[in-house]
Every structure is written in structure tokens, then in C-alpha cells.
């Protein structure tokens, strides 16, 4: 159970970022949509083929400068079965290009149901004597509201198949505090006055404790929003073995200068997500739509530079 | 936004239960698997065809005596794209048979991502001038850890398309208390000493307040485990507009006599789930596997009787 592969890729690219592959149909350049609709029909199949083509273009443009991609399952599920097919083809393509793939599904359940999700994304299923990897990604985001019963099936799969999870701890959205910032009173095993996100963070540290830690971080990461820099700083100090997946950079308000504290002295400890800014860079640049992939690469490099200005250098411990 | 259709079906069948369609491959009778493997191969496609056939048999056997089914998405996703196809065909078939369909996906996210999930299960997507319902169910389970931002996109879809959601409040598993039972200290707007599950429950009541309430219940239901009867009683009194989806009956330990307090004076207010006991009734009965559907019907009737013994009669207010 580890995030070692991710960490190695971050060091190799000197880039602690992940490109979110959240291909809403309106993000896709017209010429790609037109071609797909002509060939497959103006329907979910045509739309799914268009987003797959778009994803492949983005992947081709960034795979050598970015360590990871994070497809968001909702945007594929919303195109039905055809969308899920496009998700599958996207992750296979990204893996072929050497990218670390994080499925952003925020899955959660208990017992054999959680085992089902774990098998779907992190593990294997057995049919007859053959093993199959339904959606072979490297890591999955999960929601820990159900407690340890809801996490163990995932960490078991992580151990067995050397995969990772990222547990929602302090999310980037404005209302994340409605639950996550609640201050807990008398709780056995925790100091008075802990917030729910702190408790969730400490559970991540506990769940990850049994995992391999070649580079100091376990296979149980935490989702911590870029929009809450104070909490990132606090959680970084509190959770030394927990790697952070950091959404909310850019459009949502998270700034590069606020994220320095997410990283340790080696520049490790976090990976910052950007989705729309990179996917839709061609819209912002107002360049030729055919240059959408090059525009995405330019934006990805810009983001890398903005972060690395504050981090300096990233090295293995 | 309502659960009116569900309530009408419960009254019509005099049966406050929902059959969980969680078709693990080992639940499926050998003769169905064999036939599917011969026809489609011993692979995910063959397995998905087998579970679809099994589901249809169960649905045919219970659609006139049970108001609702609840397919659990994990068991379909674990068969990859072919499994998701089987999920789609299962919900379409169940709808055709007049059943109320709850997709148990525990989905959660924010902003346009949550809108994506809402469109996938509760709403419609627009491609060109056509509207599509990717996975047309009546209700979806959701996880509220992200707060209101994570729920509003779902309630918006519920309002627009007259659908429902069930938010995880107090789940049935042993470790649900690790987070959900935490007692909160000073919180604006809530009394000192509330637990997280109580806060989540009150948020359900708030989120549902704007919805239609022909029969007293909004479109925002709550998942409350049958294994915690005291909490069910407490939440029933605390949340008069919130309908309960109650897992954990039977195998997990929830008993019929403990569930009376989940229901109001009209016998409404909750629907109790049973999955394996019904799907695998033929294994327990040790009857001929070909009678799996009849065995499921017998078990479903047994469960109905056990519950109705304590409820008496169910009527519209």
C-alpha cells in the first residue's frame, strides 16, 4: 500500500500537480464534437467519443511534464454507459502514457459493498480462473463518513495491489465547514476541541500506519482544499505520513503562495489539482481551437512554475 | 421534489420494504451462470448477463408485493462497463414493472461535479436538442460530508424532476459512531451536545423544507441503520418531514420489533431494506435453484409480515 509511484513521478517531473480530466461537453472544442457527432450521432455515444478524443489530446500534451491525471467519474457517468466506456478508455490511455491515475469517485460504503468498489478500481475480480481489473487506476478518492468499516476494504485492496486512496478530510468548498469544522466535545482518544476534519485526518494517519512508507508517506492520503491554507498548514504538521490531494487551486481561489505549507522540507507531501484552467486554456487564450492541447500544456507549465517558485526543488528523502 | 410515488406504492402494497439488488456473482444460481458463460464467455460480460438475468427473475417474483428495489452500484461497477450496462438494464426493467427504484451509490461532490451525478441519476442531459436520462432512477443515496454545497445540486434536480435523495445520517455498520456519534461542542444554531448524525439529520430536514410534501415527507430522506433502534426512535421524533431508508435488517442484526418507532401513526416514514436474505433465499431454503425467484418471493412476504405485525396498517394521512 503506497503512493511511492506517484511520489517518484512527482520528483521526476519536478511538478507536484495533477490534471483533472473533467470533460464537460462545453469544454470540448467544436471541431472535435462535430466530427464525433457526424460519425457516431448527436447522442451520448457521440458525446462520449468526443470527450475521449479531447482527453487523449490533453494527455498527449502533458504526459511528459505532469505526474498524474484525475478523471472525475461524475462527468463520465452523466453520459451513461457510453460515458463509463470513455472513462475506461481514458484511464487505460493515461496509464499507457505512464501517468499516475487517480479516479475521483468519492466512493464509500461498508463490508462487501466497499469491497466491490475496491475491486472495481483498485483490485481485481475473479471470474472462473481469470482475474480482471475492471477500472485499473492507481488511486481512488473515498469518503470516510462511515468510519473504519468503510475504509478497511479499500486499504486491504491497497495493501494487496499496492494502490492508494485519498480520503476526504477538509474539502475546498465554501460549506465544507458545516460538518467538517464542527468542534467535538468529550471524545475518547482525542483531545477536547478537535474538529471533525482533524479527527478524519488522524484516522487517515491511523489507517495508513500499516502501509509501506518508502518515502515517508503511506497509501492513505487526504483531500485537503487549497482554499483553506491555514488548515493545510495545520494538517501538514499533524499528519506526517499522509499525502495530500489538493483541489481548489485557481478558479476556486487557492493560491500558489498559500500552498507552500502543504509540502515538507523535501518538497513532497502534496499534489495540487487543476482541471478547467488546463482543459479550457484554449478558451482563455482565445487561440485556435485546434491548438487546445498546446494551450493546455502551456497552462500546465505555468501552474508548475507558480508552485515551484515557492517549493524550490522536490527530492526523495 | 418528493417521495410521494414511493409512499403511494408502500400504501398500495402495504409493505414498507425495499429489496436490495446486490447481485454478487456467488448469489446467482449455477444454472443461470452456466448458461450466460456458455453464451457470452466466462468473463465480465458473461457475469454481467448472469446477474441481469438473476435480477429480472427476482423483480418478476416480487414486483406486485414490494414497492421498491435498491440496486447497489458497487456490485455493478465491479464488473466494469459490462456491469454498468447490467445496472442500466436492471433499472429500466424494474421501472417497467412499476417498481420505485433507488440507486444506492452514496454519491457526493460539489458544484458542477455534483450536478453531473444529479443529471446522471435524477435528471437529464442535453445533447444537441435532445434530452437523455442516463440512469433513470427515482432516488439516489448521497453522502453529505461536504455540506450544503454537496447536496443542493441534488435537491435542485429533485425539485426539477420530482425525484428523491436519501442522505447518510446514521449508518448501520459497527464503526458508524467513529464519526457520526461524535458530540459537538459550541455550534451556532444547534444546541450543545448534538451528535454529528443529529446535525446531519437536521440538515436533511432543512434541505427538504422547500420540497413538496403531499403526504408530510419531503424529497430529502435519511439513511438510518436498523441496527441502532434508539437512534431511529430519536430521529423519527426529531425529523418529522424526513423519510427513512433503513438498511441493516436481518443479517446485520436489525429486528422487526425494534423498527416500530421508525414509523409514524399512519405507518409511514420508513422503508426497510433487505438484500441477501431475499436474493439468496433459495440457498437458505436449500430448494431447487430453479425456484430461486419463488423462494425470494416467500422470503419477501415473510419480511413484510414480520414488519407489518408491529406496524398494523399503513395509510395515507
Give A303's pLDDT tier (boundaries 50, 70, 90): very high
| pLDDT score of A187 more than 50 | no
Mean pLDDT of all residues in chain A? Answer: 95
- What φ, ψ does residue B8 adopt, rounded to 5°? -60, -40
Interface-testing mutation among A22, A74, A92, A200, with chain B (most B C-beta atoms within 10 A):
A74
Predicted pLDDT at A197 = 96
| pLDDT score of B236 more than 80 | yes
The 10s digit of each residue's pLDDT in A207-260 is: 999 777 899 999 999 999 999 999 999 999 999 999 999 999 987 889 999 999
- CA–CA dist A222, A230 (Å, integer): 15
| pLDDT score of A310 more than 80 | yes
- CA–CA dist B38, B48 (Å, integer): 13
Q: Tell me which chain A residues have a C-beta less than 8 angstroms from the C-beta of B203.
A: 178
DSSP symbol at B201:
H
Predicted pLDDT at A234 = 96
Q: Tell me which chain B residues have a C-beta less than 8 angstroms from the C-beta of A130.
A: 42-43
- What φ, ψ does residue A314 adopt, rounded to 5°? -115, 125
Nearest CA to CA, how far is A154 from chain B (Å)?
Answer: 13
Yes or no, beta carbons of B146 and A171 under 8 Å apart: yes
| pLDDT score of B188 more than 50 | no
Q: Tell me which chain A residues have a C-beta less than 8 angstroms from the C-beta of B25.
A: 127
Predicted pLDDT at A185 = 67
Tell whether B113 is within 8 A of chain A (Cβ): yes
User: Please, are residues B3 and B243 in contact by the beta-carbon 8 Å criterion?
Assistant: yes
Mean pLDDT of all residues in chain B? Answer: 95
Predicted pLDDT at B185 = 67
Within 168-197 of B, beta carbons closer than 8 Å to A belong to 168, 171-180, 182-187, 192-193, 196
Tell whether A297 is within 8 A of chain B (Cβ): no
- CA–CA dist A285, B143 (Å, integer): 37
The 10s digit of each residue's pLDDT in A34-45 is: 999 999 999 999
Tell whether A199 is within 8 A of chain B (Cβ): yes
| pLDDT score of A1 more than 80 | no
Yes or no, beta carbons of A74 and B120 under 8 Å apart: yes
Predicted pLDDT at A2 = 82
pTM: 0.97
Predicted pLDDT at B104 = 98
Find all residues with CB under 8 Å of A235, minimum gap 6, and list them. A169, A170, A197, A198, A201, A222, A224, A242, A244
Predicted pLDDT at A108 = 98
Q: What is the mean pLDDT of residues A74-90?
A: 98
Predicted pLDDT at B273 = 97
Within 116-145 of B, beta carbons closer than 8 Å to A belong to 116-117, 119-121, 125, 127-128, 130, 132, 134-135, 143-145
The 10s digit of each residue's pLDDT in B41-90 is: 999 999 999 999 999 999 999 999 999 999 999 999 999 999 999 999 99
User: Please, are residues B150 and A175 in contact by the beta-carbon 8 Å criterion?
Assistant: yes
Amino acid at each position: 500500500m503506497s503512493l511511492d509511484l506517484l511520489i517518484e513521478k512527482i520528483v521526476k517531473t519536478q511538478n507536484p500537480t495533477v490534471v483533472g480530466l473533467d470533460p464537460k461537453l462545453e469544454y470540448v472544442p467544436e471541431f472535435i464534437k462535430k466530427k464525433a457527432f457526424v460519425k457516431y450521432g448527436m447522442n451520448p455515444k457521440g458525446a462520449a467519443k468526443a470527450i475521449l478524443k479531447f482527453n487523449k489530446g490533453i494527455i498527449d500534451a502533458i504526459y511528459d511534464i505532469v505526474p498524474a491525471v484525475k478523471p472525475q467519474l461524475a462527468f463520465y457517468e452523466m453520459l451513461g454507459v457510453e460515458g463509463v466506456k470513455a472513462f475506461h478508455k481514458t484511464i487505460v490511455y493515461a496509464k499507457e502514457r505512464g501517468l499516475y491515475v487517480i479516479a475521483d469517485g468519492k466512493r464509500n460504503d461498508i463490508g462487501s459493498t466497499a469491497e466491490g468498489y475496491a475491486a472495481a478500481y483498485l483490485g481485481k475480480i475473479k471470474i472462473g480462473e481469470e482475474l480482471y481489473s475492471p477500472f485499473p487506476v492507481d488511486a481512488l478518492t473515498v469518503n470516510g463518513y462511515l468510519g473504519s468499516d468503510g475504509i478497511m476494504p479499500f486499504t486491504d485492496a491497497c495493501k494487496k495491489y499496492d494502490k492508494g486512496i485519498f480520503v476526504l478530510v477538509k474539502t475546498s468548498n465554501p460549506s465544507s465547514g458545516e460538518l467538517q469544522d464542527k468542534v467535538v466535545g468529550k471524545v475518547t482518544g482525542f483531545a477536547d476541541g478537535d474538529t471533525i476534519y482533524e479527527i478524519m485526518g488522524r484516522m487517515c494517519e491511523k489507517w495508513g500506519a500499516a502501509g509501506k512508507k518508502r518515502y515517508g508517506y503511506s497509501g492513505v492520503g487526504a483531500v485537503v482544499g487549497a482554499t483553506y491554507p491555514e488548515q493545510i498548514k495545520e494538517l501538514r504538521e499533524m499528519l506526517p505520513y499522509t499525502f495530500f490531494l489538493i483541489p481548489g487551486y485557481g478558479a476556486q481561489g487557492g493560491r500558489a503562495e498559500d500552498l507552500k505549507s502543504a509540502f515538507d522540507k523535501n518538497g513532497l507531501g502534496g499534489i495540487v489539482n487543476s482541471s478547467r484552467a488546463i482543459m479550457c486554456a484554449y478558451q482563455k487564450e482565445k487561440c485556435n481551437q485546434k491548438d487546445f492541447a498546446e494551450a493546455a500544456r502551456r497552462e500546465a507549465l505555468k501552474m508548475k512554475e507558480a508552485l515551484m517558485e515557492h517549493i524550490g526543488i522536490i527530492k526523495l528523502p
